[in-house]
Amino acid sequence: MATVLRPASTGPAAVLCLTVLLATACSSSDADPSGADSASGESGAEVSITPEDGTDEVSPDVPVEVRAEGGTITDVTVAVDGDEATGADEITGTLNDDETAWTSDWTLTPGAAVTVTATTEDADGETAEAVSEFTTQEAVEGQRLELESNFPTSGETVGVGMPVIVNFDLPVENKAAVESAMEVVSEEPAQGAWNWFGDQTAVFRPEEYWTPNQQITVNMRLAGVQAADGVFGIENHQLNFDVGRSQITTIDSDTKRMLVERDGEQIQDFPTSLGRADTRAYTTTSGVHLTMEKYDQLVMDSATVGIDEDDPEYYKLDVEYAVRFSNSGEFTHAAPWNNQLGEANLSHGCPNLATEDAKWFYENSYMGDPLIVTGTDRQLEVDNGWGYWQRSWEEWVQESATGEPDATDEPGTPGSPHGDAE
């Protein structure tokens, strides 16, 4: 099989692609139980593999390591349970500068039979091969980390501000390891980082808005990552979505205008009416929001934001063309009853629009389009909806468990998903 080399993401070392092969007919190994093996008596090179041949119940987060003496490593392949790897299941490894040591980049599936085959070449061109066959320990029932949901989902087209949001079914304690197992790859150069909101939600955003019109791939190599003591990820996932055109909307509470800019040119100017601001609840939040979801018809019930039926301020309205941009009840929507659009702020907090204007915005909005509100004295919280752009880039990187930015146009992640070697 051909060997593929690529630059390492964290340094100058070359990287040898570790291709996961079908193991339907694993050949018997000549490697001894110590893990060291010289497969050819004619070769002066010897190769050793860790975990050792014949080992059972290997922790899935222990790295696979190959070392050569008297030669260089020319190829490493891994077969896992007879399944050929594609997408997020593909395991790669990092080769050191003198090509004598190779370490896997990613963790292994729990409860799997693994075959590692390594080939070396000595100065005379003679080759040697070593094989290590071992099994990984099962993930225990109730301690299997799984992906509960993610935004966006594969196949979606989103706005330039869209983060990657991953929700887990169990709390994550080893956040740096889990961050390091999730590789975000963009077609255009960018750097980004993960932040955590609670122990079960990880969010990735770039330093600046995504370059428009490109595809983003997220390889969530969670199988084998130890998320907490004895809690292992059990499955890998790959997410593919497209970033569409750039559309950025600005709403000014002072001018009471809603301006829509697409790909750097203003294309709409709508009169609007924001929150009347006589209470905090009725004050539209200022800051960088993202459009989250939309409804052609929606019942707006104030009880969902804490104003119950027995309150004189209670309301329940049927509205059209509603686009959500926070979790505190804020939507742009049609308000044909408001006859002071562009003149006065009279709403309960939502930017009111004429029906035709609200319909246009509804029809032309992607999830993740930036929507910036200015001029009010209530600031959007970073965890109110998708207010993630409210956090500065410097603070965002500091809040990452790895504490380092990730170059998304390069392979790999800043940290390591592995635990301590046994």
Q: Is the pLDDT of residue 38 over 70?
A: no
CATH no. of 144-237: 2.60.40.3710
Q: Tell me how many degrees the CA angle 395-399-405 measures, rounded to the nearest 5.
A: 80
Q: In this model, does residue 6 exceed pLDDT 60? A: no
Going by C-beta distance under 8 Å and a sequence separation of 6 or more, which residues neighbour residue 278? none
Q: What is the mean pLDDT of residues 372-400?
A: 98
pLDDT of the residue at 89: 85
Work out the mean pLDDT of the chain and round it to a whole number: 89
Q: Please say if the pLDDT value at position 295 is more than 60.
A: yes
With the C-alpha atoms ordered 384, 389, 390, 391, is the resulting torsion angle positive or negative?
positive
pLDDT of 358: 98
Sheet holding 247-252, edge to edge: 265-271, 257-262, 247-252, 370-374, 287-290
Intervals of CATH 2.40.440.10 along the chain: 247-390
Decide if pLDDT at 43 tops 50: yes
Residue 421's pLDDT is: 53
pTM across the whole model: 0.86
Q: Which tens digit of pLDDT belongs to each residue from 121-147?
A: 999 999 989 999 999 999 999 999 999
- The CATH 2.60.40.3710 portion of the chain extends over 144-237
How many other C-beta atoms lie within 10 A of the C-beta of residue 135?
Answer: 18
What does DSSP assign to residue 34?
T
Residues labelled as active-site residues: 333, 350
Residues 305-332: tens digit of each pLDDT: 777 777 777 778 899 999 999 999 999 9
Give me the percent of the chain exceeding a pLDDT of 70. 88
Read off φ and ψ for residue 32, nearest 5 degrees: -85, 165
Classified by CATH at the fold level, domain 5-135 comes out as Immunoglobulin-like (2.60.40)
Give per-residue pLDDT as tens, 267-280.
999 999 999 999 99
**CATH ID of 247-390, from 2.40.440.10, 3.40.640.10, 2.40.37.10, 3.10.180.10:** 2.40.440.10
CB under 8 Å to 215, separation ≥6 — which residues?
186, 187, 240, 241, 242, 243
Segment 251-265 shows an average pLDDT of 98
In the chain, CATH 2.60.40.3780 sits at: 5-135
